[in-house]
């Protein structure tokens, strides 16, 4: 940097960086949503005590602030107790507290609570993107699916019914897992309302999760075998990013090979570069499909960054690599839903795994805003109002 970088900012205007551009982007954002939140806090939570100088503060905490206070929904979004209202929102957060599909260490039933709790740390504004979710979309939290402990199949039926309800309402579904066995029933819920349309799946993971059964049941090692049995979710449109290491069962590898799924290892992604890897994923996931579902297993990121997970596997993606891949993909495909799975708070340290999951979710919402996919102006063309319960064949 030379002396031409004067106090008037002339150098920065001539040579804009992301950091400098972001300063300008913030200027364009409204504060309407924030003002509404302040007004509501005064109505619901009383004006602050007389000694409080900042009169935006209320007596009872009723919004974003303070970040350590309040009842946690995801980012303190309104809790929609009446799920019949979910279609009034652009995005619905939906918890799936299910870990009966876990084959090693349990605890992901606490994933939705863990993610919600630490999500209170976030503001709705992202600096680089110049996005303020409070100002730009209507977010709600519909709470959790009533899962049935120790019964995967009954839980799967509950999950598919719940996801189908949210998906068909037009609200963009964001699912907080739960172990990865939920990937089958979540996609089945989507497929029930696709009519003759098709969905590609982009799957971030260290593990392939494609075997038919594990320990005699449909466990978290099995979702994509059963999801890609559905005609609406063809296996050639399944893209698996970050696969590798010592926890990839050979039974699953055989299925990937036979069905022609698309696998990139961490080395592939690093050697190709993130842009080429994202291009590969987009081409394969969108070839002949109408929309893309994103299944983000938090363990795709190196175990050193995400200790709170069911099957930690060293050698994964760096957080910034995973987040950049997510950006390049979400901004360039029609996304129909997102799930973030395998966060296990009992094994987490300093909430770092839950925090990473929150980051994936908030980044995805912001990329959907930047790419014009949210807020939704109309019901996406891939959503069919008819519920087809016959999308999957009976199992056993």
User: Least distance in Å: CB of 311 to Mn ion?
Assistant: 6
Distance CA 346, CA 40 (A): 36
Paired with 199 in beta bridges are: 291
Q: In the stretch 105-144, what mask flags binding to Mn ion with x, by CB under 5 A?
A: ----------------------------------------
User: Least distance in Å: CB of 253 to Mn ion?
Assistant: 14
Q: Which of residues 167-226 bind Mn ion (CB under 5 A)?
A: 205, 207
Residue 144 or 205 with smaller CB distance to Mn ion:
205
Q: Which of residues 223-262 bind Mn ion (CB under 5 A)?
A: none
Residue 214 or 299 with smaller CB distance to Mn ion:
299
Closest CA to 227 of 242, 240, 212, 215: 212
In the numeric block, which tokens belong to residue 2? 């030379």
Residue 85 or 359 with smaller CB distance to Mn ion:
359
- Which part of the chain contacts Mn ion (CB under 5 A), choosing from 8-16, 140-148, 268-276, 297-305? 297-305
What are the helix (H) ranges across the chain?
A: 10-14, 18-27, 32-45, 111-119, 133-136, 152-169, 183-191, 223-227, 250-259, 266-272, 274-286, 319-330, 352-370
Coil, strand, or helix at residue 122? Answer: coil
Residue 139 or 341 with smaller CB distance to Mn ion:
341
DSSP 8-state assignment for residue 217: B
Q: In the stretch 337-376, what mask flags binding to Mn ion with x, by CB under 5 A?
A: ----------------------------------------
User: Least distance in Å: CB of 331 to Mn ion?
Assistant: 25
Number of H-type helices and E-type strands within the chain = 13, 10
Residue 62 or 207 with smaller CB distance to Mn ion:
207
- Which part of the chain contacts Mn ion (CB under 5 A), choosing from 91-99, 228-236, 295-303, 327-335? 295-303
Stretch (H or E) spanning 263:
strand 262-265
Paired with 58 in beta bridges are: 47
Distance CA 1, CA 245 (A): 44
Distance CA 336, CA 126 (A): 22
Size of the site for Mn ion (CB under 5 A): 4
Contact 376, 180 (CB under 8 A): no
User: Which of 299, 302, 321, 339 touches Mn ion by CB under 5 A?
Assistant: 299
User: Least distance in Å: CB of 297 to Mn ion?
Assistant: 4
- Which part of the chain contacts Mn ion (CB under 5 A), choosing from 193-201, 252-260, 298-306, 324-332? 298-306
Contact 93, 77 (CB under 8 A): yes
User: Least distance in Å: CB of 353 to Mn ion?
Assistant: 13
> For residues 313, 317, 320 and 324, what is the CA-based torsion angle, rounded to 10 degrees?
-130
Residue 143 or 242 with smaller CB distance to Mn ion:
242
- Non-local (6+) Cβ contacts of 25 within 8 A are 129, 130
User: Least distance in Å: CB of 247 to Mn ion?
Assistant: 8
User: Least distance in Å: CB of 162 to Mn ion?
Assistant: 23
Whose CB is nearest to Mn ion? 207
User: Least distance in Å: CB of 299 to Mn ion?
Assistant: 4
- For the stretch 247-285, what's the b/e string if a residue is b when 16 or more beta carbons lie within 10 angstroms of its beta carbon? ebbebbeebbeebebbbbbbebbeeeebeebbebbbebb
User: Least distance in Å: CB of 313 to Mn ion?
Assistant: 7
User: Least distance in Å: CB of 220 to Mn ion?
Assistant: 8
Q: How far lies 182's CA from each of 70, 102, 172, 231, 392, in Å? A: 29, 11, 18, 19, 15
User: Which of 37, 64, 132, 297 touches Mn ion by CB under 5 A?
Assistant: 297
- Which part of the chain contacts Mn ion (CB under 5 A), choosing from 104-112, 138-146, 236-244, 293-301? 293-301
E strand residue ranges, 286-334: 291-297
Catalog residues that contact Mn ion under the rule CB under 5 A: 205, 207, 297, 299
């Amino acid at each position: 940097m030379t002396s031409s970088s004067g106090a008037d900012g002339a150098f920065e205007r001539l040579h804009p960086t992301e950091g400098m551009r972001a300063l300008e982007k913030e200027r364009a954002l409204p504060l309407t949503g924030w003002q509404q939140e302040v007004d509501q806090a005064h109505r619901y939570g009383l004006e602050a005590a007389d000694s409080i100088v900042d009169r935006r503060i209320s007596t009872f905490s009723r919004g974003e602030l303070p970040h350590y206070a309040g009842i946690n929904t995801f980012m303190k979004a309104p809790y929609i107790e009446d799920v019949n209202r979910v279609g009034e929102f652009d995005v619905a957060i939906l918890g799936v507290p299910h870990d009966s599909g876990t084959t090693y260490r349990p605890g992901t039933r606490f994933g939705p609570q863990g993610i919600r709790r630490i999500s209170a740390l976030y503001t709705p504004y992202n600096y680089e993107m110049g996005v303020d979710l409070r100002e730009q979309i209507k977010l709600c939290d519909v709470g959790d699916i009533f899962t049935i402990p120790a019964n995967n199949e009954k839980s799967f039926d509950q999950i598919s019914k719940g996801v189908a309800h949210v998906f068909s309402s037009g609200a963009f579904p964001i699912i907080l897992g739960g172990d990865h066995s939920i990937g089958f029933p979540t996609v089945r819920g989507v497929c029930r309302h696709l009519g003759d349309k098709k969905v590609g799946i982009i799957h971030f993971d260290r593990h392939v999760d494609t075997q038919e059964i594990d320990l005699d049941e449909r466990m978290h090692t099995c979702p994509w075998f059963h999801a890609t049995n559905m005609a609406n979710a063809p296996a050639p449109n399944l893209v698996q990013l970050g696969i590798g290491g010592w926890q990839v069962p050979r039974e699953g590898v055989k299925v990937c090979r036979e069905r022609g799924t698309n696998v990139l290892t961490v080395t592939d992604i690093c050697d190709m570069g993130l842009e080429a890897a994202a291009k590969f994923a987009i081409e394969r996931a969108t070839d002949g499909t109408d929309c893309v579902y994103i299944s983000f297993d938090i363990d795709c990121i190196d175990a050193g960054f995400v200790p709170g997970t069911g099957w930690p596997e060293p050698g994964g993606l760096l957080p910034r690599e995973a987040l950049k891949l997510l950006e390049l993909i979400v901004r360039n495909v029609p996304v129909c839903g997102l799930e973030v799975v395998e966060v296990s708070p009992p094994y987490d340290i300093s909430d770092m795994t839950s925090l990473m999951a929150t980051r994936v979710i908030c980044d995805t919402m912001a990329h959907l805003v930047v790419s014009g996919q949210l807020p939704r102006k109309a019901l996406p063309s891939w959503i069919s109002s008819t519920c087809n319960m016959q999308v999957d064949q009976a199992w056993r």
